[in-house]
A and B are shown apart, each in its own frame.
Chain A
Amino acid sequence: MADEALFLLLHNEMVSGVYKSAEQGEVENGRCITKLENMGFRVGQGLIERFTKDTARFKDELDIMKFICKDFWTTVFKKQIDNLRTNHQGIYVLQDNKFRLLTQMSAGKQYLEHASKYLAFTCGLIRGGLSNLGIKSIVTAEVSSMPALTSMSDHTLKKEKLDK
């Protein structure tokens, strides 16, 4: 029954901790983002395994993305993705207009430059989830106005389907 407050606070501490230890050494911004993303990747892999234990097999990639947008996002962030777009050639754009990890930060343009630090973990989460469902992808995220998040998942790399 770990409340979401606990996860939010842990996430914020993780981000500030990673950046604080970066100040002491000479590590660039990119490495911190990578660290956070890798942590999210591990968590995403584990989470999707536990989640899809009892669900039916997915018919295709779009089905998987819909699952991520509805059930997965609802469980992790208490709401569904507001908008899913695709070009049917492996690129999916997910839009969340009130991203849970950013709502407490600002409601406009304030702190926009720091938003990317708080998105890295979530990108890793999505990438890890997709990876364990058999899809290799690159996930990027951008924020044009807090707290709306647009994340793009690119599956056009080598696609490895699980052997059925």
Chain B
Amino acid sequence: MSRPAHRRPEYRKINKDLFVLTYGALVAQLCKDYEKDEDVNNYLDKMGYGIGTRLVEDFLARSCVRRCHSYSEITDIIAQVAFKTYLGITPSVTCNNPSRTAFSLILDKNPLVEFVEELPAGRSSLCYCNLLCGIIRGALEMVHLAADVTFLQDKLKGDSVTEIGITFLKKLDEKKYRRKK
């Protein structure tokens, strides 16, 4: 599938707006349908999971990433390649534990909340961008890596940055052992 080589810059921005606005309409509809914040969060996570399982194929086809040998390499790829490709931002990566299985992605700029001023009243525990967590979780699972992905900090809830925590659950050694068989 060939893509047009040149596109006027404002078209790209409008395209991004389409996704952001659609996501906003979706969250607004979910807030109308579900009373509890946890239900909305779970729903967004499940949706994100479904998207992630398919998006990873598109990502792998599009970018020629090499095989990763450690969790920190994987997290770097997610931050520097995947986020850049799909959202145009590059979060910074920090490691959260000495055994190097838990990482954080720190987002200063989050395009998904571009049109959001604040969370609606009575929805203080709503994770607006929970779709992202589901996407990362689904994508990792498709490459046989179980991980727990949650929001550790959220600018919409008053924190200074938005932080997504990725905790890898299964050890990479097991995977190597399986391959040797």
- Does B associate with A? yes
Chain B residues within CB distance 8 Å of chain A: 4, 11-12, 14-26, 28-29, 33, 43, 47, 50-51, 54-55, 58, 84-88, 111, 115, 131
- B87: min CB distance to chain A, Å: 6
A6 contacts which chain B residues (CB < 8 A)?
Answer: 19, 51, 55, 86
**Which of A2, A5, A16 has the largest number of chain B CB atoms within 10 A?**
A2
Q: Is A50 touching B23 in the complex (CB atoms < 8 A)?
A: no
**Does B16 contact A2, Cβ atoms closer than 8 Å?**
yes
**How far is A35 from B29 in the complex, measured between Cα atoms in Å?**
8
CB of A43 within 8 A of CB of B55, answer no
A7 close to B28 (CB less than 8 A): no
- The smallest C-beta distance from A23 to any residue of chain B, in angstroms, reads 14
> With A and B bound together, what is the CA distance between A11 and B87 in angstroms?
17
Q: Is the CB of B22 within 8 A of A39?
A: yes
Query: Is B15 a contact partner of A2 (Cβ separation < 8 A)?
Result: yes
Chain A residues contacting B111 (CB-CB under 8 Å) are 2
Nearest chain B CB to A147 CB, angstrom units: 14
Complex interface: chain A residues within 8 A of B17 (CB) = 46-47, 50
> Is the C-beta of A13 less than 8 angstroms from some C-beta in chain B?
yes
- Knowing A1-B16, A74-B11 are in contact, say whether A7-B22 is a contact too (CB < 8 A): yes
| B88 and A1 within 8 A (CB) | yes
Taking a contact as CB atoms under 8 Å apart, the answer to whether A3 and B21 are in contact is: no
Residues of A within 8 A of B (CB): 1-7, 9-11, 13-14, 16-17, 21, 35, 38-40, 42-43, 46-47, 50-51, 74-76, 78, 121
Docked Cα-Cα span, A46 to B24, in Å, equals 11
Q: Is A13 in contact with B50, judged by CB distance below 8 angstroms?
A: yes
Do A3 and B22 have beta carbons less than 8 Å apart? no
Establish whether residues A17 and B47, one from each chain, have CB atoms under 8 Å apart when the complex forms. yes
Residues of B near A9 (CB, < 8 A) are 50-51, 54-55
B19 adjacent to A46 (CB under 8 Å): no
7 closest cross-chain pairs (CB), A and B: A1-B88, A2-B19, A39-B25, A9-B51, A42-B25, A43-B21, A2-B16
- A47 close to B21 (CB less than 8 A): yes
* Distance, CA A11 to CA B111, complexed state (A): 18
Q: Determine if A2 and B47 form an interchain contact, defined as CB atoms under 8 angstroms apart.
A: no
Q: Assuming A6-B51, A42-B21, A76-B14, what are 4 further A-B pairs, CB within 8 angstroms? A: A1-B86, A1-B87, A3-B86, A75-B15
